[in-house]
Amino acid sequence: MQERSAIASSATEDYVKVIYSHTEWQPEPITSSVLAARLGLAPSSVTEMVKKLAAAGLATHVPYGAVTLTSEGRSLALRMLRRHRLIETWLVESFGYGWDEVHDEAEVLEHAVSDRFLEAIAGKLGHPLRDPHGDPIPRADGSVEQPDAVLLADAPDGFSGPVVRISDRDPALLQYLGDQGFALDSVVTVVERRPFGGALAVRLDGAGFDLGDEATRAVWLGAGSS
Amino acid sequence: MQERSAIASSATEDYVKVIYSHTEWQPEPITSSVLAARLGLAPSSVTEMVKKLAAAGLATHVPYGAVTLTSEGRSLALRMLRRHRLIETWLVESFGYGWDEVHDEAEVLEHAVSDRFLEAIAGKLGHPLRDPHGDPIPRADGSVEQPDAVLLADAPDGFSGPVVRISDRDPALLQYLGDQGFALDSVVTVVERRPFGGALAVRLDGAGFDLGDEATRAVWLGAGSS
DNA sequence: CCTATAATTTCGGTGTGCCGAAAATACGTG
DNA sequence: CACGTATTTTCGGCACACCGAAATTATAGG
Ligand SMILES: [Mn+2]
Ligand SMILES: [Mn+2]
Ligand SMILES: [Mn+2]
Ligand SMILES: [Mn+2]
């Protein structure tokens, strides 16, 4: 019999959360260096910690290869994402935070609130299934509704569809896009791809924008039409 | 020029909080061993940590003597007590927690919430000045209203006064007292002290109780009459 | 197939906060 | 005032999570 799922440190919680969420909207498995970059840590630190995750039965790791979660690791990750995203939603709904202001606060609170408290806010919010950025909120039983979506950067000319998700990694970008009128469910149409790796021209509510690489790699569009 | 008040670790925050609150209702300064007991740590750990607090300018310590806070330590303590007690109040008022259920959750959250968040809940609560246990909530500017009070164990026979504070250290005791009808502002009268270190007979809302040592050392009464 | 380069891991080391055992100190009693 | 006891401190050590430098491994181009 192995270690009965012991209480994870907040470092452990952050690792599995990042490992899981990396493959949420894209299939590419995560490598040590990407994991290090996302966590803001040195690669050597990550290698060591990943070994500990493996020893704890949360991850598997082929040396020099990708890091994958075990089913136990996945359920811890889903638990943490539920926490993170419910807290973000609650900060927006109940405290008037902007969608560009919630991430850092949630990043800390997700490790601190009790299950009782978390389920209380889930109830107050009516058990929402997506957070302010369109990321799916796993249910308490670990099930998730993952929407089909196309990265705006990959959408063909003429494609049109609702905004399904905007990555919350860069608050400044979120604020910019919010100011421009981008919101979940607003419909975006790809007008034209400027030549030589230039910007992507899109239309939103009748208005036109040129979006750079960073922006088009942060926005996902749902089932639409070409 | 010394270290500009650096961000304190949650260990540091807990130490100054306990040091300060020990002299809140009683004048006796705190010693290493009492501090260790309150924190649930070994005395040797406390000695070392107190040295670090002193080095950080938060406390002063006469070897083999008492631990005292500097003004900087005191203001950090007040900041933490404001956090702890506002969070406790909020859990009771907005989440239906019982007064015996809030302490542990607050103990964690006090280190995690941002100032913005804390002041938001303070506003929602109407800037209360005492928590569910009667402990004063310091204002954001660091000022406190400390009520005059007598420990029930020290009150003379015939003394009568409103409950001003009940220590939140023992949840089981809080629950018991709550079940018996004890609440802030309910009036308690000391009837008689049973001989040979026995219980203390009190009256509350017409009903009589015999309270043991632990209970009478946890309840404070306000200005009353003999 | 061989090698240069980039990614990854290993290794020695750090800071924080904790512990138990042993040594030092304080203090009440005789 | 001296001594035994209780308190406090010192000391060596540990767990956790991190780092940079050096060593190792993968792999892509020639
Ligand atoms: Mn987020
Ligand atoms: Mn989010
Ligand atoms: Mn409390
Ligand atoms: Mn309290």
Q: For residue A220, give the 3-state DSSP assignment.
A: strand
Tell me the pLDDT tens digit for each residue of A77-128.
999 999 999 999 999 999 999 999 999 999 999 999 999 999 999 999 999 9
Q: Smallest CA–CA separation between B111 and chain A, in Å?
A: 9
Chain region(s) in chain B for CATH 1.10.10.10: 1-144
- Residue B48, beta-bridge partner list: none
What pLDDT score does A5 carry?
A: 67
Is the Cβ pair A112, B112 closer than 8 Å? yes
What pLDDT score does B2 carry?
A: 45
Tell me the pLDDT tens digit for each residue of A3-48.
446 789 999 999 999 999 999 998 889 999 999 999 999 999 999 9
What pLDDT score does A220 carry?
A: 96
Q: Would you give per-residue pLDDT tens digits along chain B (226 residues)?
A: 444 567 899 999 999 999 999 999 988 899 999 999 999 999 999 999 999 999 999 999 999 999 999 999 999 999 999 999 999 999 999 999 999 999 999 999 999 999 999 999 999 999 999 999 999 999 999 999 999 999 999 898 999 999 999 999 999 999 999 998 999 999 999 998 887 777 888 899 888 889 988 899 999 999 876 6
* Nearest-angstrom CA–CA distance, A42 and B145: 48
What pLDDT score does A73 carry?
A: 96
Kindly give the pairing relationship between strand B150-151 and strand B67-69: unpaired
What pLDDT score does B143 carry?
A: 96
* Nearest-angstrom CA–CA distance, A160 and A187: 7
Please give the CATH superfamily to which domain A149-222 belongs. Ferrous iron transport protein A (FeoA) (2.30.30.90)
What pLDDT score does A140 carry?
A: 96
Q: For residue B190, give the 3-state DSSP assignment.
A: strand
What pLDDT score does B5 carry?
A: 67
Only one residue has tokens 């993952």, namely: A146
Q: For residue B64, give the 3-state DSSP assignment.
A: coil
* Nearest-angstrom CA–CA distance, A202 and B164: 64
Report the run of H or E that residue A7 belongs to, with start and end: none
Q: For strand D, give the nucleotides within 7 A of a protein CB.
A: 7-12, 16-22, 25-26
| A to B CB pairs, distance under 8 Å | 30
**Is pLDDT above 90 for A56?**
yes
Domain B1-144 has CATH 1.10.8.60: no
What pLDDT score does B3 carry?
A: 47
- Cβ of B55 under 8 Å from any chain A Cβ? no
Chain region(s) in chain B for CATH 2.30.30.90: 149-222
Q: Smallest CA–CA separation between B84 and chain A, in Å?
A: 14
Tell me the pLDDT tens digit for each residue of A168-225.
999 999 999 999 999 999 999 999 888 777 788 899 988 888 998 889 999 999 987 6
